[in-house]
Amino acid sequence: MDFSWMAWTKPTATFFAIIFCLLVTLTIWEIKIPGGAPRRGILQFETTRGDRLFISLLGAAYIHIFWLAFLSLSIWWALLIACLYAICVFVWV
């Protein structure tokens, strides 16, 4: 297959590799400790581990889109911000 039309730069590949690793980690976590005990965070609705991962990934996508649209700095900074955002989501949401 010819993937030359895609912009597979190191940051893009890293972003998707991290998503894949997160999904594998969450799957293993769910197999070892089923359920994930829903909890209420600052958003005042119940979320599970999967919900928090989805919110984190959605936020990371928006962080990267806005970063590319409005800033000319390295995309690695957006990745760092997205990781910090994900940590905050898992702690407080």
Question: Which pTM value belongs to this model?
Answer: 0.75
pLDDT digit string, tens, across residues 58-69: 999 999 999 999
- Rounded to the nearest 5°, which phi and psi values hold at 42? -70, -20
Residue 82, pLDDT score = 93
Residue 3, pLDDT score = 62
Residue 10, pLDDT score = 79
Alpha-carbon distance of 90 to 69, in angstroms, equals 27
Q: How far is CA 14 from CA 23, 40, 51, 76, in A?
A: 14, 32, 22, 10
Alpha-carbon distance of 37 to 31, in angstroms, equals 14
The residue type found at 48 is: T
- All residue ranges of the chain with pLDDT < 50 are none
- The residues, ordered by sequence, that sit 6+ positions from 89 with a Cβ below 8 Å of its Cβ are 52, 55, 56, 59
Residue 2, pLDDT score = 67
Residue 88, pLDDT score = 95
